[in-house]
Structure 1
Amino acid sequence: MARQPHVMVIPHAAQGHVAPLMKLSLQIAAHGVKVTFVNTEFIHEKVMASLPAKAEQQSPISLVSIPDGLEPEDDRQDFVKLTESMLRVMPGHLRNLIENINRSNVAEEITWVLADMAAGWALEVAKKMRIKRAAVLLSSPASMALALYVPQLIEAGIIDTDGTLIKDEPITLSEDIPAWSSSELSWSCCDPVMQKLLFAYVSTALRTCKFSDQILCNTFYELDSSAMKLIPKIIPIGPFTACNNFEAFSGNFWPEDSTCLNWLDKQTPGSVIYVALGSTTILSPQQVDELALGLELTGLPFLWVVRSNLTDGSTVKFPEGFINRVAGRGKLVEWAPQEKVLAHHSIACFLSHCGWNSTLEGLSTGIPFLCWPYFADQFHNRSYICDVWKIGLALAKDENGVITRNEMSTKIKILLSSDGIKANALHLKEVARKSVSERGSSFKNFKSFIEQIQH
């Protein structure tokens, strides 16, 4: 009896990690490979709840879950507690899951484990069980290159063992990669406990590399070859795109509000500002006001993704009369089908937090960016968007750390009148499209990876 290749995929428990790995899993399944996708029970429930009715029966991949070690009522925003709990209990649960699957049907034993770079513990389990494995990098190659250089940076006295810069000088890895200032390091954080945790997590990159036979990466070679040269075993196979017939399986934690697509159909081509600050950005009530009034000030139509948890612990409140004043031209949704929105002819620009998924989705659709990074690698992604690829502009905070309504409306006007930025964005869209089409660099890399899995 022939064995069917069977890949197990393990994302880190966050929206920006689950969604791209779901896309990759669907692409692998489309080649006749069996895929089992493992979330924590908490995340699994969210993903299932956001699926349309009956969608699960049509799924080409099998969605399963293991406990993260916390009680249902525990606060999963407490990253320290969550991380400790996951590392303590999840490796054992994963091992049991693999053993149960392997016992139940010998012809469908797990042959490969694909784990998020941020879930290196899963690769460790796979190595001990002698299963082939690959890590998947879901942030930029430059942030990975920086993570791999951490030991040298400590040794050279540039950063201390908590990741704090000792000399306030930018860190440069190569002349083609933008330098990192002290506030742009992927672990830089105003909260020292959080910084320590992020730094410890970034520092595991070297170890995770040792456990992986290769590192698959959601990017394409032409986008950032100089950073990729610094990463051993890296294979760019992106941008990951949604599989057309399985768009429901986008790995969302909130149900998508597709009424915004009908609304976009009614707008003038190239007129709408799309505002989406990712799944983790938290804004102060004052900052929400300035953003709302800035959008109003532009006089342009806008589509704004307002998550229920956009402000810390309180309901999102808008300036008085705002909703009535913009009723004709503003559309607010809790979550949007982002790839479809960005590909819509009505979109003029993308006001983004510059997370790696959003960065790739924006540049794959040729949309200019207005950059509003929040944490981790997003600040460095902004440097690429504004200074290297020249497909967007950065928003500057005032002396109180607020992005004002005037800053916003001024930058939007400059961005929309820049033919140079628009031309660069369209050029990059073409390069991205070529990389995943037949004979493109990512297409070839992905094809050879599928061949490895099948043999």
Structure 2
Amino acid sequence: MDSVTRNDQKKPHVVFIPFPAQSHIKCMLKLAELLHHKGIHVTFINTRSNHKKLVESGGTPWLDDDSPGFVFKTVSDGPSSGAAEDGVEPVTPTMEEVWMHLANNFFDSFLDLVSGLKTPVTCIICDAFMTYTNTITAAEKLKIPIILFWTMAACGFMGFYQAKVLTDKGLLPLKDESYLTNGFLEMEIDWIPGMEGYRLKDLPEHMLATKMDDPGFKYLLKTAEAAHNVSYMIIHTFEELEARLVNEIKTIFPNVYTVGPLQLLLNQIKEKENKRTSLGCYSLWREEPECIQWLESKEPSSVVYVNFGSLAVMSLEDLIEFGWGLVNSGHEFLWIIRTDLVKGEPVVLPQELEEEMGKRGFIAKWCPQEDVLSQPSVGGFLTHGGWNSIIESLSVGLPMICWPYYGDQRTNCRQMCKKWEVGMEIGKNVKRDEVEKLVRLLMDGSEGKRMKEKATQWKKMAEMATSSNGSSSLDIEKLANLIINFS
């Protein structure tokens, strides 16, 4: 029986708990929308500051009178995140302040929030990186089933999971800081099918600590260990992309649902039900539609799209090197330069570079990324390697250049370059000559053509996975039915 038509006295009701960052919220909102289309009631929890941003940016245009049973609730992300008082706007807390505040306060706030909901909660879907706030303990106290959602690739999950594996093997934490430079990090991790050639240096950087009580290392270790404390896991990938790795994960965690690419699944709903679904929204920042108009005026496959995501920062020197590399490549480019992209100082470019960029480039602060990637004029993507960006690029068959910043981006970059064969990596120390060379290869060279052909193959695989009988479509239906059976 289809999950939409099942009539139960106790309506299935899922509470979503995202990690409070743009990419995590976007991914979880898409899954929430999909399950809502299956007839499941959704309560989505944001921090106050992020929900304010989401509403002000127009990040939920799809949520209107046609979406009953989908509500947002908020929790505090710090003492200064509430409403304005005496005409003074509250200060938006930093990510570090939010992280600490939630560690100390989320558990009690969550219990109070759930107790105040009119519809009983029958399931919790929690971002795997929010388990540090004791969400699993809360679920046990409330006697509500909990599912962990890894808003990343299977390789990204397995990379983080190595915090536990390598600690058990005695390889982490590192013996001392000399191990960071003596070649030890070149050691290959040879026990993961589907991640051949993966090295210690491809791990998230906080795992390469030298002390067991290092805060970042402790956080990642506890996050990895928490995966064993739940019965169900969701990963934002599709089996065809990471078949051997997904099978390996299922030998450790038997109840795994692969549900990507989520946007393609939403597109399936649009086609079947002839309803409007979102594309390029769920944003915490206002998206600038002018960049789409600019792209529409350009020749097919002529523009390089450049976006380093919502959290990556760089030095002004690196920004200038990227700028000159793009200008010298001879290609037009759309570059998203956030106001906080340069660490600790405003983005002030040399006048000559600014003038040259104005001739060939369009600069925006934020954009509807999936709309941009689907424009015929876009021929390649220079990215930080965040998973949302990669899976969105694969969904439209675009090759990439990757400059990984942190977290799973190192792992993603390794896989996209070596395993999926759709990308090239830029060195950590940015040089304009290297940027120019790689952009030319991406847009004009035989290497770029080969990567484009490979990316087109993955696009077809993604479309197959999200077709009516595809692996991701079937897993979404299984997930929806699991949740309904909880009620």
Provide the TM-score with structure 2 as the length reference: 0.85
CA deviation after TM superposition for structure 1 residue 246, in Å: 4.2
Contact 1:219–1:238 (CA<8 Å) still a contact in 2? yes
Q: Which residue matches 1:214?
A: 232
Determine the C-alpha separation between the residues in 1 that align with 2:459 and 2:149: 23
Matched, 1:126 2:139: yes
Deviations 1:246-290 (A, max 9, x none): 427833121111111111110001100000001111111111111
Cα separation, partners in 2 of 1:84 and 1:163, compared to 1, 3 Å: farther
Amino acid in the other structure paired with 2:73: V
Amino acid in the other structure paired with 1:30: H
Identity of aligned residues (%): 25
1:390 to 407, 410, 421: 421
Contact 2:160–2:203 (CA<8 Å) still a contact in 1? no
Contact 1:187–1:202 (CA<8 Å) still a contact in 2? no
Deviations 1:53-94 (A, max 9, x none): 987644732121011344336774362x43332121001111
Q: Which residue matches 1:117?
A: 128
Q: Which residue matches 1:409?
A: 436
CA deviation after TM superposition for structure 1 residue 428, in Å: 0.5
Matched, 1:94 2:106: no
CA deviation after TM superposition for structure 1 residue 163, in Å: 10
Deviations 1:128-148 (A, max 9, x none): 211122110112222322433
Amino acid in the other structure paired with 1:98: V
Matched, 1:85 2:104: no
Higher mean C-alpha displacement, 11-20 vs 39-48: 39-48
CA deviation after TM superposition for structure 1 residue 161, in Å: 7.4
CA deviation after TM superposition for structure 1 residue 9, in Å: 0.5
Amino acid in the other structure paired with 1:251: Y
Cα separation, partners in 2 of 1:263 and 1:363, compared to 1, 3 Å: same
Amino acid in the other structure paired with 1:212: V
Determine the C-alpha separation between the residues in 1 that align with 2:474 and 2:434: 44
Amino acid in the other structure paired with 1:160: P
Contact 2:323–2:357 (CA<8 Å) still a contact in 1? no
Amino acid in the other structure paired with 1:110: V
Matched, 1:64 2:94: no
Higher mean C-alpha displacement, 155-164 vs 343-352: 155-164
Determine the C-alpha separation between the residues in 2 that align with 1:236 and 1:440: 11
Determine the C-alpha separation between the residues in 1 that align with 2:354 and 2:94: 30
Determine the C-alpha separation between the residues in 2 that align with 1:313 and 1:59: 44
Determine the C-alpha separation between the residues in 1 that align with 2:226 and 2:207: 23
CA deviation after TM superposition for structure 1 residue 375, in Å: 0.6
Q: Which residue matches 1:241?
A: 263
What pairs with 1:280-299 in structure 2 (closer than 5 Å)?
Answer: 280-299=311-330
What is the DSSP-based 3-state SS (H/G/I as helix, E as strand, rest coil) of the residue aligned with 1:147? helix
Determine the C-alpha separation between the residues in 2 that align with 1:285 and 1:302: 19
CA deviation after TM superposition for structure 1 residue 381, in Å: 0.6
Deviations 1:162-200 (A, max 9, x none): 99868442333325304443432113489989x933322
CA deviation after TM superposition for structure 1 residue 330, in Å: 1.1
Cα separation, partners in 2 of 1:380 and 1:258, compared to 1, 3 Å: same
What pairs with 1:16-165 in structure 2 (closer than 5 Å)?
Answer: 16-51=23-58, 57-58=64-65, 60=67, 61-72=70-81, 76-77=93-94, 79=96, 81-101=97-117, 104=118, 108-120=119-131, 121-160=134-173
Contact 2:399–2:422 (CA<8 Å) still a contact in 1? yes
Q: Which residue matches 1:259?
A: 290
Determine the C-alpha separation between the residues in 1 that align with 2:371 and 2:400: 17
Amino acid in the other structure paired with 2:80: E
1:374 to 405, 414, 419: 405
Determine the C-alpha separation between the residues in 1 that align with 2:194 and 2:279: 39
What is the DSSP-based 3-state SS (H/G/I as helix, E as strand, rest coil) of the residue aligned with 2:341? coil
1:347 to 371, 378, 400: 378
Determine the C-alpha separation between the residues in 1 that align with 2:94 and 2:325: 29
Deviations 1:276-325 (A, max 9, x none): 00111111111111111111111211100111100113221122133333
Deviations 1:362-420 (A, max 9, x none): 111100001111011101111111111111111124xxx2x111111111111222321
Matched, 1:454 2:484: yes
Q: Which residue matches 2:3?
A: none
Amino acid in the other structure paired with 1:247: S
Amino acid in the other structure paired with 1:32: G
Contact 1:178–1:383 (CA<8 Å) still a contact in 2? no
Cα separation, partners in 2 of 1:410 and 1:40, compared to 1, 3 Å: same
CA deviation after TM superposition for structure 1 residue 214, in Å: 0.7
1:421 to 451, 463, 473: 451
What is the DSSP-based 3-state SS (H/G/I as helix, E as strand, rest coil) of the residue aligned with 1:332? strand
Cα separation, partners in 2 of 1:378 and 1:296, compared to 1, 3 Å: same
Amino acid in the other structure paired with 1:413: R
Determine the C-alpha separation between the residues in 1 that align with 2:157 and 2:175: 18
Cα separation, partners in 2 of 1:410 and 1:59, compared to 1, 3 Å: farther
What is the DSSP-based 3-state SS (H/G/I as helix, E as strand, rest coil) of the residue aligned with 1:205? helix
Matched, 1:185 2:203: yes
Which runs of no fewer than 5 residues in structure 2 stay unpaired?
Answer: 1-7, 82-89, 271-275
Determine the C-alpha separation between the residues in 2 that align with 1:78 and 1:190: 21
Cα separation, partners in 2 of 1:74 and 1:163, compared to 1, 3 Å: farther
What pairs with 1:308-319 in structure 2 (closer than 5 Å)?
Answer: 308-319=339-350
What is the DSSP-based 3-state SS (H/G/I as helix, E as strand, rest coil) of the residue aligned with 2:248? coil
Matched, 1:198 2:216: yes
Amino acid in the other structure paired with 1:407: E
Cα separation, partners in 2 of 1:261 and 1:89, compared to 1, 3 Å: same
Determine the C-alpha separation between the residues in 2 that align with 1:172 and 1:158: 14
Determine the C-alpha separation between the residues in 1 that align with 2:340 and 2:116: 38
Matched, 1:11 2:12: no
Cα separation, partners in 2 of 1:86 and 1:374, compared to 1, 3 Å: same
Contact 2:202–2:414 (CA<8 Å) still a contact in 1? no
Contact 2:386–2:409 (CA<8 Å) still a contact in 1? yes
State the Cα RMSD in Å: 2.7
Amino acid in the other structure paired with 2:215: L
Cα separation, partners in 2 of 1:57 and 1:24, compared to 1, 3 Å: same
Cα separation, partners in 2 of 1:145 and 1:53, compared to 1, 3 Å: closer
What is the DSSP-based 3-state SS (H/G/I as helix, E as strand, rest coil) of the residue aligned with 1:203? helix
Which runs of no fewer than 5 residues in structure 1 stay unpaired?
Answer: none
